[in-house]
Structure 1
């Protein structure tokens, strides 16, 4: 789903501008995917997340109140909220199909990297989550197409929804289930 003005996420243009200022080798969708993968795999949602997901200790923590800090705060809150209001930071619906589908695939690539860093080689996943992770890997390997028709537009909406739900499922297995187990002990 494309980011809505009231989703709590900063505008994609603000995130892209800060990425450019910091000379990061990522785009907004991929970086948001990395952050969400990191959080879904059990990574700490603290200020130093950027250095963790980029695997570069020289990257400074985002300034408090900056778009990247807002992205961290909003993403962590959306993942932890049980109302399923989690959103992907993607280009607006008026962007071309190629731009939007490319961003979804970039988001998935980022997610897999961040998730792997946080969750490790053998995270405690249900069979459904393992399948979802495999499907995210297939999407991460996909390439954007130059043009499409109404069926392709509908397919992209379905893919975005799948990615959103898969993220919540993986977060549930790795983070929420772990928190629940800790409360029981």
Structure 2
């Protein structure tokens, strides 16, 4: 398996702005992750129109930041070493900006997951709980009072979100795939 790194957050943001998508890089990445984790299997070309539910969007240009994001995300979600990561703003930005991006990532994930998995996906109890937690995180209003503890809390929540996405991907994609291969 060829390794592809996620593009820079700024590159995805610039391309999303150029295409007038009305979403930032974190929310777009969350939408893609949710869509893939819900069991959808879009192509490298048409994923953006499907994730954005906008058939008027052009196909993704090969080797663009959006193409790189798709290829890296698909590989990372399948990675046996749990190398999946969230596309987030630069760590030098304020904790509030990164916190807002994480909430956007969660909103995007929920939307993409719902598009792909439908109303009643085959989830374990643990995954149902994780999906509910992602929903509560996405609906949160964050307050930033103590920069040091806020930084730690953001890291913990981001790690929880990362693991929740992997868990949902496992239930909706890996589990059914393994059951099919056993039959």
| Fold agreement, TM-score > 0.5 | yes
Equivalent in the alignment of 1:3:
none
Q: TM-score, normalised by structure 1?
A: 0.94
Q: Please list every run of 5 or more consecutive structure 2 residues that lacks an aligned counterpart in the other structure.
A: none
Q: Is the 8 A contact 1:99 1:144 kept in 2?
A: no
TM-score w.r.t. the length of structure 2 is: 0.95
Identify the residue that residue 136 of structure 1 maps to in structure 2.
134
Cα distance per residue 1:7-34 (max 9 Å; x no partner): 7100011101101110111000000000
Deviation at 1:143, TM superposition (A): 2.6
CA RMSD of aligned residues (A): 1.3
Aligned to 1:108: 106
Equivalences for 1:84-103 in 2 at 5 Å?
A: 84-103=82-101
Gaps of 5+ in 1: 1-5
- Please say if 1:27 is aligned against 2:24: yes
**Residue 78 of structure 2 is aligned to residue 80 of structure 1:** yes
| 1:159-170 matched pairs, under 5 angstroms | 159-170=157-168
Cα pair 1:41 1:116 within 8 Å, conserved: yes
Q: Secondary structure at the match of 1:123?
A: coil
Number of residue pairs matched? 180
Question: Which residue in the other structure is 1:49 paired with?
Answer: 47
